Amino acid sequence: MIMEQTVLVTGATSGIGRACAETFLGADYRVIVTGRRLSRLHDIFEKYGERCHILAFDVQDRKASEEAIASLPAEWQDVDVLINNAGLALGLEPEYEGDYTDWDTMIDTNIKGLLTMTRLIVPTMVKRNRGHVINIGSVAGDAAYANGNVYCATKAAVKSITDGLRIDVASTPIRVTLLKPGLVETNFSNIRFHGDDERADNVYKGIVPLTGQDIADAALYAVQAPNHVQIAEMLILATHQASGSVIFRQG
């Protein structure tokens, strides 16, 4: 591993993103932690100090994203690893009853936000002839499940975008990885159900779900693989989950 590499993690204030930030900080990387909630970013900075740099912005806002990246001090501008983690699901209802605002937020975050960050960071990687992009997809991108319609579509788009980037940089040493988690117990379901804690808790009943740390460990593994090894795609499921829609629940 090359010491003092710089990692940028989007959506680093909670869940998988925060686990990725803290895992890479613990492995002697420098990390740019980004997210919407400045207070939570400060919590990470207070814990790790000068090994991290915080940027508060929403990837849905392209102008804010551009300004945030442009504001990076010179010593933080060369990003070696980009982890496009920011994303969310909103609502779980038939497509014909979906909420327009939920649709826009998922598309603007999961697809357009990821594209914006890729466009802002990867050109410098190409210029430096080194780098690694990790996109956080989902098992939901492999096949739609009941009432998942637009969220599943956004994660299918993430897979296609990731595959396309890998093709586009195949002539360079840049590696591109897609991580596809299944059930991960974070605040994901609470956000999906707009703060309905009881409904969110039911998602994980009867099964031991993955944790954000499990996904962060996979990201670190991909980055620390030998330079000639590209972990192109990794599907990570809980033991009793077979697909996005097939889950064996005990009790």
Band (88; pLDDT cuts 50, 70, 90) = very high
Q: Would 19 be classed as within a structural domain?
A: yes
* Residue of 100, 145, 151, 221 with catalytic role: 151
Does residue 39 register a pLDDT over 60?
yes
Helical residues (DSSP H) of 169-211, grouped into ranges: 188-192, 197-202
Q: Would 129 be classed as within a structural domain?
A: yes
Q: Is residue 219 within 8 Å of residue 83, measured between CB atoms? A: yes
pLDDT at position 187 is: 81
pLDDT at position 2 is: 44
pLDDT at position 154 is: 98
Does residue 117 register a pLDDT over 90?
yes
Does residue 23 register a pLDDT over 80?
yes
Q: Would 18 be classed as within a structural domain?
A: yes
Q: Would 246 be classed as within a structural domain?
A: no
pLDDT at position 206 is: 94
CA atoms of 200 and 82, how far apart (whole Å) = 29
What mean pLDDT is predicted for residues 157-165? 98
Determine the residue type at 47. K
Measured in whole angstroms, the distance separating CA 74 from the mean position of its chain's CA atoms is 25
Q: Would 1 be classed as within a structural domain?
A: no
Q: Would 242 be classed as within a structural domain?
A: no
Range of the domain at 207: 6-236
pLDDT at position 1 is: 39
What mean pLDDT is predicted for residues 47-62? 95
β-strand partners of 133: 82, 176
Does residue 197 register a pLDDT over 90?
no
- Least confident span in 14-18, 53-57, 201-205: 201-205
- Least confident span in 117-126, 131-140, 160-169, 197-206: 197-206
Q: Would 243 be classed as within a structural domain?
A: no
Whether residue 204 lies in the annotated active site:
no
Determine the residue type at 154. T
Looking at the structure of the chain, the number of domains it has is 1
Does residue 186 register a pLDDT over 50?
yes
CATH assignment of the domain containing 166: 3.40.50.720
Band (233; pLDDT cuts 50, 70, 90) = very high
Of 128, 27, 108, 127, which is closest to residue 64 (Cα–Cα)? 108
Q: pTM of the predicted model, to two decimals?
A: 0.95
Of 89, 83, 113, which is closest to residue 7 (Cα–Cα)? 83
CA atoms of 118 and 120, how far apart (whole Å) = 5
Of 31, 54, 32, which is closest to residue 42 (Cα–Cα)? 54
Q: Would 80 be classed as within a structural domain?
A: yes
